Amino acid sequence: MKGLNDKQAEAVMQTEGPVLLLAGAGSGKTRVLTHRVAYLIEEKGVDPYNILAITFTNKAAGEMRDRVDLIVSHGAGRVWVSTFHALCVRILRRYIDKLGYENSFTIYDSDDQKAAVKACLKKLNIDPKQYSEKMVISEISKAKEQFIAPYEYDREASGNYRKMQIARVYTEYQKRLKQSNALDFDDLLYKTVELFQFNPGILDSYQERFKYIMIDEYQDTNHIQFLLVKLLASKYRNLCVVGDDDQSIYKFRGANIYNILNFEKEYPEAKVIKLEQNYRSTGNILKAANGVISNNEGRKEKALWTEESDGDKVTFSLYDTEYLEADGVVSEIVRRHREGRPYHHFAILYRTNAQSRIFEEKLLLKNVPYKIIGGQNFYGRKEIKDIISYLKVIDNGQDELAVRRIVNVPKRGIGDASILKVMAYADTYDMSLIDALYAASDIPGLNRAASKIEAFTSLISEFKDYVEEGVSLEELYDSILERTGYMDELIAEGTDEASVRIENLNELKNKIVTYESEAETPTLSGLLEEIALVAEVDSVSENEDVVLLMTLHSAKGLEFPCVFLGGMEDRLFPSNMALNSDDSDAVEEERRLCYVGITRARENLHLSASRQRMMNGSTNYNPVSRFVKEIPGDVITINGEGAYAIKKQEKNLFESDNDFRSVNNTFSQRKPYSYYGSNTNRNSGKSYGYSKSTAKMPLFGKEFKVTAADIDYGVGDRVSHVKFGEGTVIELNKGDKDYEVKVQFDKPEYGIKRMFASFAKLKKI
């Protein structure tokens, strides 16, 4: 019990019955789990054979075993420490014959799954363009997570043609797996639950084996995992689950937050212990985290605290553009590094992978070493390399690697055997690969592949003609995505992975649009040269002193002395998808993700946002994230250095007010004038009122006069349109007879629209 605080000690000693340990970020939950195992063995005399501890990764399982070994005199090796999947494999290897399989079953990986589904689609004569392998696999996986059998899925799909087709594939897929004596990863849990349900004697033997069960990261469990745990623990009910509902951020992977929120309903006699003392972050960082997460309704009440000092305040900087934001972040890292901070003390976190590009470019320009965690270099991602290869071939067809990469991407029926014949022909006649492809009709043995190669070379010729005709690089890029069917294929795939790839392609378009607008004489060769200069990043070893870049999802479980959290804007974070979702939990999950990001910081936390940001090739004006506004005013400061349009009087006003939310409207495009319309600056005594004839949007630094009586909105106001929905006024110009209004609409398909006020009939929200 040495070194444990009171609550940790209570959690260790509460060994009987169901226990819910609400372990906040940095509260030492792993320490509690390992000491609890040791306490059961050393103090309670429990046979290690009767203890089961489930973690989510093999690495975490190994670490737990090692730590238990250090504090237990003997027997630690007999404790069953495992992931869910490893536990199920061991059980099924012994008993799966009860379900009609052989015990020597094989486990399909993702490629095996894809091949099996592809064969099913072909057998059932279902168009793979309408029902892509990845989309079907995703739907089947979701069904298995809910413990829904093929016949149940088919029954529930009645009347829904799309689901009825997927039900056919699901049925055929499971039939094919059974014939091959194979399971996929979802089957490992599904078949174990099925085994227990139909074989109570086997279930009883494992209930006797696992009299004490502990589950880590319980907030990340899905429904099938919940069912498995419920079955195993139903006899002795000595179940201890450890988790933090405020860190439940994997709903897209099937995690069900209600497993932890409803634990006391499932186990009414449960003992709930809150681990709220934090050993990671300073007081101000914890107050910021508590201020944000307290706005979620679907959570267990708790608040992190520390015995350490408050430390530095959280800083927030607002920049004109995302490029200035990235430059500001990297400049601050460089400054602190010169003061003696090693690079590995810094982490840059962001909501989406696509945001990494600009940070990468700025880090390279300032010669700052970095590494991306949980993702590739932006220009190293498959979809980016594919489209850049198209651009290379259009610009210079002699690039053999680029030609080979795209000749059958997307798939157009040109196989490896055909390419080898073309390459042999090129070698024989000392030709480049692209020239040999243009001569496909002369190459013997190509047969039907010749016409497919000709279609490819015709497409390349068409793109080359576009360039000679002087079309913009943006138009060329759009044509490549459209004419090749690359984007259509990703849209049809309909998976989370495809959505990420689409985001990355949109970010590449942002790069192209920016280059074209800034270069004196933009050319395709110039674009490719600029990309090559920033894309050439050497691999970094684990031990090097580097700045780490990662998404917020990848950052979970990690901690850093200094964290920069970029892109703090509504419609980016929280995401536009979450804001427009019918799911009431969507924004709350985004808020939990923000809480995870904040609590990664030990000493310093820097938040930043951009007034305007290019998204999918268009400039967007997004309000500052609501999450920034939820941070208490006494723990956050506005960094006016380098931030745009932060006027000194506004900074003074902010600093004199203890409640940041009272000046939130300074950063809100929804109600930009409400604070200034009725309050007086207590420092200067000056009143910042406005009238209908003269209105000022403080942060945007623009003044305009409103004289028409029928116009009741201005720059920054939220408005609605009968067709385009809700949006934000970003520009308003008075003409001779009417106002010209420029609106950034929320729905990405509408984007920015210019219209005359008398026709637009916008209504202020």
Of the candidates 245, 216, 239, 302, which has an alpha carbon nearest to the alpha carbon of residue 30? 216
Token readout for 45 is: 């005399």
Q: Label residues 74-109 b or e (16+ Cβ within 10 Å = b).
A: eebeebbbbbbbbbbbebbeebbeeeebeeebeebe
The whole-angstrom separation of Cα 292 and Cα 290 is 5
- Cβ atoms of residues 663 and 652 within 8 Å: no
On whether the CB atoms of residues 174 and 150 are closer than 8 A, the answer is: yes
Question: Which member of 34, 174, 221, 247 is catalytic?
Answer: 247
Which amino acid, one-letter code, is at 761? K
Catalytic residue among 216, 588, 590, 746: 216
Out of 7, 8, 29, 191, the active site residue is 29
Separation of alpha carbons 475 and 473, rounded Å: 5
H/E stretch holding 473 reads helix 473-484
- Bridge partners, residue 13, by sequence: none
> How far apart are alpha carbons 713 and 127 in whole angstroms?
50
CB atoms under 10 Å from CB of 378, counted, come to 26
Pairing of strands 239-243, 19-23: parallel
Cα–Cα distance measured from residue 36 to residue 30, given in angstroms and rounded to the nearest whole number? 10
Q: Which of 36, 299, 405, 600 is catalytic?
A: 600
Give me the count of residues in the chain: 765
Q: Is 29 a catalytic residue?
A: yes
3-state secondary structure of 440: helix
How far, in Å, CA of 64 to CA of 217, rounded?
13
The 3-class secondary structure across 4-46, one letter per residue, is CCHHHHHHHHCCCCCEEEEECCCCCHHHHHHHHHHHHHHCCCC
Q: Give dist(CA 221, CA 247) in Å, integer.
A: 12
Q: Under DSSP, is residue 385 helix (H, G, I), strand (E, B) or coil?
A: helix
Residue 620 three-state SS: strand
| Dist. CA 452–CA 446, nearest whole Å | 10
Q: Three-state DSSP class for 552? A: helix
- Specify the amino acid at residue 498: A
Choose among 187, 180, 35, 168: nearest CA to 105: 180
Q: Indicate the DSSP class of residue 50.
A: G
Question: Using H for helix, E for strand and C for coil, what is the string for 225-292?
Answer: HHHHHHHHHCCCCCEEEEECHHHCCCHHHCCCCHHHHCHHHHCCCCEEEEECECCCCCHHHHHHHHHH
Q: Is 207 among the catalytic positions?
A: no
Please name which of 317, 244, 314 lies closest in space to residue 285, comparing C-alpha atoms.
Answer: 314
Q: Which residue has the tokens 């006649």?
A: 429
DSSP state letters, 299-361: S-----B-SS---SPEEEEEEEEHHHHHHHHHHHHHHHHHTT--GGGEEEEESSGGGHHHHHH
Tokens standing for residue 390: 């198209």
Q: Is the dihedral of CA 448, 453, 459, 464 positive or negative?
A: negative
744 close to 620: Cβ distance less than 8 angstroms: yes
| Known active-site residue 247 | yes
Q: Taking every pair of C-alpha atoms in the chain, what is the biggest distance, in angstroms? A: 89
| 611 in active site | no
139 flagged as catalytic = no
Query: Could you give the dihedral angle defined by the CA atoms of residues 87, 91, 92 and 96, in that order, rounded to the nearest 10 degrees?
Result: -160
> Annotated catalytic residue: which of 139, 145, 217, 585?
217
Distance set, CA 512 to CA 113, 197, 310, 505, 518 (Å): 37, 57, 44, 11, 10
- Choosing from 15, 30, 619, 637, the catalytic residue is 30
Catalytic residue IDs: 29-30, 216-217, 247, 600
